Amino acid sequence: MIISGTSARVSASIFTHKRARRLFTNAMSQGEEFLHKFVNYEKKGVPDGAGKDDKGGFDMGRMHRLLNGLGDPHLRLPVVHVAGTKGKGSTVAMLSSIVQAANYNVGTYTSPHVTNLRERISINGQPIPEASFDALVKNSETKLIRAREEEGGALSHFEVMTALAFTHFQDQQVDLAIVEAGLGGARDATNVFSSDNLKLAIITAIGLEHQKALGNTLGEIAAAKAGIMKQGRPVVIARQPEDEALQELLKRAAERGSEVIQASDEVNVASKGIIDLEGRRQQMVIVSTREGTSGRTDEEAGAHQSGAEVNLQLMGDHQLDNAATATAAACLLKDDGFPHISEDAIGKGLSTASLPGRFQVVRLPHASEQEPHWLVLDGAHTPASAGALVKTLAQVFPDQPLAFVVGMADDKDHRGFLALLREAGPKAVIFTSVPIAGAQQRSVAPGKLAAHWQAVGLQLKRPQRCRELIQASLPSAVETARRELTSTRQEGVGVICVCGSLHAVSEALSNVHFTD
């Protein structure tokens, strides 16, 4: 795979190939153009307190009125609802893959997208086709315009996309819809299900993020996420890095009479290392479940059963927890209307699950052994995810020369994120600006990132040991990283890592080509 850029200088190196063909397109469909009529908080930023379950939060009545006007499609869907700070996308991908491997039709609704808006709405791993999306919008257009007028123009892009997803899943009669919350949980547009059709809720790892919208403490953020729990319905809770978040989740579950399944207690996923299968790096793991996890009639679960060997495409120790969470959820579904979910389906589903921008490894063409061979694309943007990224880089590419390309949104913990990246000991770091949801207004200036990087170095009392550069665009930043690694002429194949935001990953992938 290779990257295509716009400048002549860039296209002379790793950014073109005469036999390459475009992998993704950024062309906008009629349906996507129509959605621009609605308020886009991903582009402008969400209001303070928008995700809190109080008078300052988003108006959930607006979403219910919108869905009612469309015939309440969400109430006829069997649903798994997923919230959390980290691991939501990977957990959704794994669980969806497991359910699909059991020969059920599964719809998934996720956000944000990486290369195309239609990725957010998929069935059996395939994004809704452009023609189907345009038809979906056209069939609902009159009702959507009326709803916007009735709400005084306040209807948002995300609310409309969410309603369209539920309509599509109902039209296609999926066996299960797996829905990822966008922001928080309690006041998220996806939080419209009832105890009657929610199969279970999943809460992944919780950390400090979106604090202005959700709260300044882990407890406040956990409370917002816990809003997706429903009375009497089970909740699977992933391993929580901090006890404060776990205790808040347990408290909220008890208030709703929700059975709690702590994934790390019920499923064990142990890494056996990174392997290379036909030129593709994968993570070998052993997955074992406790007796009683599937078929929850055994109240006193026994020791872990002997495990099955699975090769994960999603790499990193953090993916072990995501795999455990998805497996625990699958075991619950097996006993609640999905009897064909077997151990084989779980193994197959975990092994085939993939997700763009989550330690995605792309092979680069190289004219000499001095040029970097690999491009890693990762949407890490929090200190915790930076730590996971650095650890995974060391596991997959030990002792290889490394260069970072970093582009971030303006509302993240830049200093905390960069402090963890420094642990990787890169040869170069190139800061750049990337559009956030298609606009620059939420992108942090690369000069500000560079200043944070230097300040962290002084704070940690570590002298500068790498080249620090600024580039105006991501393609030029990747090309600069390539030149910097080539000039080091050290042992090793060389790795360029694009990180800081899924929007940075999108900027790279929107220009990716692959050779026949």
Question: What CATH number should be reported for the domain holding residue 216?
Answer: 3.40.1190.10
Residues 145 and 246 in one domain: yes
Residues 371 and 339 in one domain: no
Residues 304 and 347 in one domain: yes
At 29, the pLDDT band (50, 70, 90 cuts) reads confident
Residues 180 and 41 in one domain: yes
The single residue listed with the structure tokens 């992998």 is: 23
252 located within any domain: yes
Residues 317 and 388 in one domain: no
Residues 318 and 369 in one domain: no
Tell me what pLDDT residue 270 has: 95
Domain boundary among 352, 378, 406: 352
Q: Indicate if the pLDDT at residue 300 is higher than 90.
A: no
At 19, the pLDDT band (50, 70, 90 cuts) reads very low
Entry pTM: 0.90
Q: Indicate if the pLDDT at residue 240 is higher than 90.
A: yes
Kindly report which listed range (303-312, 357-366, 498-507) carries the lowest average pLDDT score: 303-312
Q: List, edge to edge, every strand of the sheet that includes 495-499.
A: 360-363, 374-377, 495-499, 402-406, 428-431, 467-470
359 located within any domain: no
Residues 293 and 402 in one domain: no
453, amino acid identity: W
Residues 328 and 402 in one domain: no
Which DSSP letter does residue 119 get? G
186 located within any domain: yes
358 located within any domain: no
Domain holding 102, by residue range, is 30-352
Mean pLDDT (whole number) for 485-509: 86
Residues 300 and 449 in one domain: no
Tell me what pLDDT residue 368 has: 65
pLDDT tens for each residue of 138-175: 999 999 999 999 999 999 999 999 999 999 999 999 99
At 267, the pLDDT band (50, 70, 90 cuts) reads very high
Q: Is the distance from CB of 430 to CB of 404 less than 8 angstroms?
A: yes
> Distance from CA of residue 30 to its chain's centroid?
26
> How many residues are listed for the chain in this entry?
516
Q: Where are the beta strands (DSSP E) in 173-318?
A: 176-180, 198-203, 235-237, 260-262, 267-277, 280-289, 308-312
Residues 285 and 332 in one domain: yes
Residues 107 and 177 in one domain: yes
Number of structural domains (the chain) is: 2
Residues 324 and 372 in one domain: no
Q: Indicate if the pLDDT at residue 108 is higher than 80.
A: yes
CATH label of the domain that carries residue 481: 3.90.190.20
Domain boundary among 352, 375, 398: 352
**Average model confidence (pLDDT) for the chain?**
88
3-state secondary structure 147-160: HHHHCCCCCEHHHH
Domain boundary among 294, 318, 352: 352
